[in-house]
Amino acid sequence: MQSEKLINIMVRILRTMAHPDWALKHKIKGTELRKIGKYYYLYKISHIWDKEKKQSKKITGEYLGKITEEGIFKKNEPLTNIENTTIKEFGASKFISTKAQDIIQNLKDVFPGNWKEIFTFAAFRFFYNSPLKNVQDYYCNSHLSDLFTEAKVSPKTLAKLLDFIGKQRNLIKEFFKRYITEGETLAVDITHIFSRSEDVISSTLGRNSEQHYIPQINLLLLFSLDKMKPIYYRMLGGSIRDVSSLVLSMEESGVKNVVLVSDKGFYSLNNINEIYDNSKINYILPLKRNSQLIDYSQLKQAGKNGFDGYFLFEKRVIWYCEHIIDEKRVVTFLDERLKVEEEKDLLIRVDEKKHELTEFYDNQFKFGTISIVTKTEFPPQKIFEFLKSRVNIEVVFDTFKNVLSADRSYMRGDSELEGWAFINFIALLLYYEVYMLLVSKDLLSKYSPKDVILHLARVQKLRIGTNWHLAEIPKKSRILVEKLELNMDGT
C-alpha cells in the first residue's frame, strides 16, 4: 500500500514537472492543471478518504478557466469589447476537416473548382441533416468559413451545383476509383428511396420491401468489407431490382471481386440462375427457414454428430453442416445462443396463449439456425463472418436514407437528384471516418458518429476584438475529446 502511494506521488510530481512555469503559477492549493491539446485548464479538486482502499481519493470539481501565457481566461470573467465578440462552432468542424484530409484532397483533384462547396455541403448534411436552404447559415457560424473561405453556399448556388454534379457522372466515377482497390471483397445491395417529384424520370412506381407501392428510386451501393466503408453507388429506376443492374454497375465501377451479400428478400430462382451463370459475381444469400434447399435431417439427430464441424465467433460456438442440392452449395449454421433466445420467445408467447405448443415442437430443430446458399469456396467460418458483416451494410443504408430523406421532394430532375446523392455519399464517407475512429478506440458501444459531432459542436471559439480564443469546453465534450485524444487547438 505504501509503495502504491509512493508511485502516485511520483506520477503527480512528473506531471507537474512537465507543465511550463507560466501555467504552474496559476496552480494553487485545491486546484489541478490539465492539458487538453495545446492548452491548459484549471479545475478545483478535493480529496476524501476511501475506507475500502484505505487511501485518499481525488474528486474533480468545478472548471475554473483556460490558462494561456497571457494569463487565465476565467469561466465567469466578464467579457470586454462585447460588441466585437463573435462566437463560432469550432470543435466538429476542426475535427472533421482534420480527419477527412484524404476526402478533401480527392475532391480537390476531381472537382478543383467546386471542392469547397461540395465538402461544406456534405459536412452539414452529416452534422445536422441540413436542407439546402440552411447550409449558408451553418457555414457563417462555423469554423469551416475560416478554413474554406469564400465558399459559395447560397441556396441558389448550391441548386446549380447539384445540377452540375449530376450531369458529370464521369467525374463521379473518377472519384469512386480513388476508393476501389483491386482484389478487395465487396458486398452489394439495393434499397429504395422515395421521390415525389414529377420531373424525376427515373422515379417509377415500384413495390419495396415494406410493401409500399409509390414513386421511388432504387439505390445500388457497393460496400468494401476490407475498408469497412461504402465505395460506389448508382441510382436505378424504381422498378429495377434484378441482377442485370449489378452486372452493369460492376462494369462501370471496374470492380473485379464482388460477393453479393443480400437479405432473404433478394433470393429467387431467376436471380440465382442469372448470377450463377455470371463468372464475375459470387454470392452469399440467406434462405428462409421453409426453403426447399435446406436439409434439416442432420439437425434432427440427437447430439452434434450430424454436424460437419464448428468454429468460434465472438466468443461463442457456431456449429455448421453443408450439402449440395441442385448443384448449389447450402450451408446451415447453428448458433446455440440464438437458439435459446428463440425458444424462450416462442414459449413466452405460448404462455400468453398467442401460439400453440405444437408449433414449438414442429420448429424446435429450426431454432437458432441460419442457412445460406452460396457460390463461393470460402470456408464456413468466413461465410458466417461475411453474413454478419451485412449488419454494417444495413447501417450504411439506414444512414444514407436518413440523410437523403430531408430534401428529396426538392429535387426537380434526375441531374439534381444525382448531384444530391453524391453530396450525401460524401456525407456518408465522413460518417464512416468517425465510425472507424470509434471502432479503433473501442468506443462504439458508448458513442455513435452523430454523438461525436453533437458533443464536439459544443466546443466553440470566441473572437474578442481581433483575437480568437477557445471557449470553455463543456464537461461531456471535454471527456470525449480526451477519450479520442483530439487536439482542440483553437488557432
pLDDT(266) > 70? no
* 228 and 285 part of one domain: yes
* 52 and 180 part of one domain: no
pLDDT(172) > 90? yes
* 181 and 42 part of one domain: no
* 440 and 321 part of one domain: no
* 25 and 128 part of one domain: no
Q: Got the DSSP string for 38-82?
A: TEEEEEEEEEEEETTTTEEEEEEEEEEEEEETTEEEETTPPPSSG
Residue 83 lies in a domain: no
* pLDDT of res. 144: 94
pLDDT(96) > 90? yes
Contacts of 391 (CB under 8 A, 6+ apart): none
pLDDT(238) > 80? no
Residue 397 lies in a domain: yes
317 closest CA partner among 333, 336, 303, 300: 336
Domain count for the chain: 3
Task: Report the helix count and the strand count for the chain, using DSSP H and E.
Answer: 18, 17
Residue 82 lies in a domain: no
Cβ proximity of 189 and 393 under 8 Å: yes
Contacts of 102 (CB under 8 A, 6+ apart): none
DSSP letter, residue 472 = P
Cα–Cα distance between 430 and 145 in angstroms, integer? Answer: 18
Tell me how far CA of residue 166 lies from CA of 28, 139, 149, 412, 418, in angstroms: 61, 23, 25, 12, 5
pLDDT(115) > 90? yes
| Mean pLDDT score, 294-320 | 85
Task: Report the range out of 97-101, 322-326, 402-406, 485-489 with the highest average pLDDT.
Answer: 97-101
* 254 and 401 part of one domain: yes
Report the relative pairing of strands 204-207 and 71-74 from DSSP bridges: unpaired
Pick the more confident residue, 88 or 228.
88
CA end-to-end distance (rounded Å), the chain: 45
pLDDT(373) > 60? yes
* 244 and 377 part of one domain: yes
Residue with cell 470509434: 438
* pLDDT of res. 484: 92
Residue 233 lies in a domain: yes
Residue 161 lies in a domain: yes
Residue 264 lies in a domain: yes
Cα–Cα distance between 158 and 117 in angstroms, integer? Answer: 8
* 94 and 105 part of one domain: yes
* 250 and 367 part of one domain: yes
Using the 3D structure, point to which of 25, 55, 77 is the last residue of a domain: 77
pLDDT(202) > 60? no
* 397 and 456 part of one domain: no
* 180 and 158 part of one domain: no
pLDDT(406) > 50? no
DSSP letter, residue 242 = S
Contacts of 241 (CB under 8 A, 6+ apart): 190, 206, 218
Strand 71-74: give its sheet, edge to edge: 31-36, 39-50, 55-68, 71-74
* 296 and 312 part of one domain: yes
* pLDDT of res. 51: 75
* pLDDT of res. 199: 44
Q: Indicate the pLDDT class of residue 14, thresholds 50, 70 and 90.
A: very low
Q: Residue 307's domain spans which residues?
A: 171-412
Q: Indicate the pLDDT class of residue 230, thresholds 50, 70 and 90.
A: confident
Strands (E), 271-410: 281-286, 309-313, 316-325, 328-335, 369-374
Pick the more confident residue, 27 or 230.
230
Tens-digit pLDDT profile for residues 41-82? 777 788 787 777 777 777 777 777 777 766 666 555 443 433
State the chain's mean pLDDT as an integer: 79
3-11 long-range contacts, CB within 8 A, separation 24+: 4/55, 5/55
* pLDDT of res. 371: 92
Strands (E), 255-375: 258-261, 281-286, 309-313, 316-325, 328-335, 369-374
DSSP letter, residue 167 = T
- Residues of the chain with pLDDT > 90, as a percent, come to 30
b/e map 106-136, b = 16+ CB within 10 Å:
bbeebbeebbbbbbbbbbbbbbbbbebeebb
Cβ proximity of 230 and 425 under 8 Å: yes
The radius of gyration computed from the CA coordinates of the chain, to the nearest angstrom, equals 28
Residue 485 lies in a domain: yes
Using the 3D structure, point to which of 375, 390, 412 is the last residue of a domain: 412
Using the 3D structure, point to which of 54, 77, 100 is the last residue of a domain: 77
